[in-house]
Amino acid sequence: MFISELIPVKKALDIIKRSLKPTDVEEVPLEDAYRRVLAEDVESLLSSPPFDRSAMDGYAIKAEDTFGFSESNPAHLKIVDRIGAGQMSNVVVQSGEAVKIATGAPIPSGANAVVMEEYTVEDGNELQVEMSLPPGENVSPLGEDLKRGDKVLESGQILRPQDLAIIASSGYDSVKVFKKPKIGVIITGSELVSPRSELKGAEIINSNYYTVKALVESTLALPTLTHCVDNGEIVEEAVLQMLETHDAVITTGGTAISKGDVVVDVADKLGDVLIHGVAVRPGKPFGFGKIQGKPVFMLSGYPVATMVQFDVFVRQALEMIQGIQRELPVVRMKTGKKIASSLGRTDYIRAKTHGEHVSPIKISGSGIIRSMVESDSYVLIEENLEGIEDGEDCKVVMYDSLRL
């Protein structure tokens, strides 16, 4: 089945999204959970701080004992205990008494304020307090940060350093996350060889091997790569093998629309080709199908088209199957140049930003890797626009904001 009409990008994305299912959930030690995708809502098992806590180095006292006193007329108290962080006092503080206390230690029973060292004079067990304190001064009350039962995080977010801190403080040393999707990548092309300093005949270096591996890694998924010559049987075998142990398959090469090309033929034989050709530039010959219930993304073999197709069609899908919901990270900038496009086609134009301005870079074919290296962004021209005038606002997607 070959589609002759190019479908819009949005329609292609809808077809892809309907074909996805999320990866399984696994439990990992909290210390390995940075940048993993949370697969549960987290509720705190604990209150934090777990007790009224001193916010300063000083003396725990009854605030009432200081009322009306000052530097010129200090209150006189007696030190009855001394505790560091990690220690607690069994003393019940009475009127006229003080307990020396370190930052973070529990306020002893009977005390309701902490006077900072700076406002005291200590002499043996005698303490002068040179100010009047309100109750609660320098006390972090139990549960100020977290209360037992509070929902602290929601499923679907990528865990940041501070998120791990709040999970730990909630009482957990492990956490449920979505499994990283395993992605089989099949690079097709009889002419492709690994990098070497001299090339023979029609050999071309297989640069997509590195690009697609890194692109998959940039979504937090786990790639396995292989290379096939342009032979239907060999490609078929590779696809079937990858499907056995992977959540999705990506191919590059063999998707030309003018004729039945190897990869699309194989997908058509093994499953359903749902997309073949999208109104996007670069990257028109994009294919998508389902084989054995799993998504198969068929990308062009041309390096630039491969990258754009990945960013437009594959990236979001790999995010979604691991539970991540996010929009394309679009910012608005001013163009320094008129940019032409066609109604009905979405253009992803390689561009370079300078502050709040963006300029398309000079390019020729879609095989030009240098254009990918010299650019840092796409100018996105949606299908309802015929182009953008010089100096006009446009939508820009920074490459770096695509990476997870």
101-120: contacts with a second copy (CB under 8 A) = 103-106, 117-118
Residue 349 and residue 359: Cα distance in Å, rounded? 9
Q: For residue 116, what is the DSSP state? A: E
Q: Is 93 in the site for a second copy (CB under 8 A)?
A: no
Q: Which of residues 214-273 bind a second copy (CB under 8 A)?
A: 214-215, 217-218, 225, 229-230, 256, 258-259
Residue 146 and residue 151: Cα distance in Å, rounded? 9
30 close to 167: Cβ distance less than 8 angstroms: yes
Q: Is 173 in the site for a second copy (CB under 8 A)?
A: yes
Taking 3-state DSSP, the helix, strand and coil percentages for the chain, each rounded to the nearest 5, stand at 20, 35, 45
Q: Is 160 in the site for a second copy (CB under 8 A)?
A: yes
Q: Which of residues 382-401 bind a second copy (CB under 8 A)?
A: 399
Q: For residue 339, what is the DSSP state? A: E
Site track 288-307 with a second copy (rule: CB under 8 A), x = hit: -------------x-x---x
Beta bridge partners of 78: 97, 126
Q: Is 365 in the site for a second copy (CB under 8 A)?
A: yes
- Please state the closest distance from residue 383 (CB atom) to a second copy, in A: 24
* Amino acid of residue 273: V
Phi, psi of 104 (to 5 degrees): 95, -15
Stretch that binds a second copy, among 8-16, 151-159, 315-323, 335-343 (CB under 8 A): 151-159
Q: To 10 degrees, what angle do helices 262-270 and 232-245 make?
A: 60
Residue 25 or 30: which CB sits closer to a second copy?
30
Residue among 19, 66, 120, 211 that touches a second copy (CB under 8 A) = 211
Q: Which of residues 7-36 bind a second copy (CB under 8 A)?
A: 30-31, 33-35
Q: Is 131 in the site for a second copy (CB under 8 A)?
A: no
Look at phi and psi of residue 199 and say left if phi exceeds 0, alpha if psi is from -120 to 50, else beta.
beta
Q: Is 333 in the site for a second copy (CB under 8 A)?
A: no
- Please state the closest distance from residue 404 (CB atom) to a second copy, in A: 10
Q: How far is CA 359 from CA 131, 152, 283, 364, in A?
A: 64, 43, 21, 15
- Please state the closest distance from residue 149 (CB atom) to a second copy, in A: 13
- Please state the closest distance from residue 294 (CB atom) to a second copy, in A: 24
Residue 68 or 201: which CB sits closer to a second copy?
201
291 close to 339: Cβ distance less than 8 angstroms: no
Residue 140 or 335: which CB sits closer to a second copy?
140
Q: Number of residues in contact with a second copy, rule: CB under 8 A?
A: 92
Q: Record the tokens describing residue 271, joined without a space.
A: 């499953």
Site track 47-76 with a second copy (rule: CB under 8 A), x = hit: -xxxx-x-x-x-------------------
324 close to 307: Cβ distance less than 8 angstroms: no
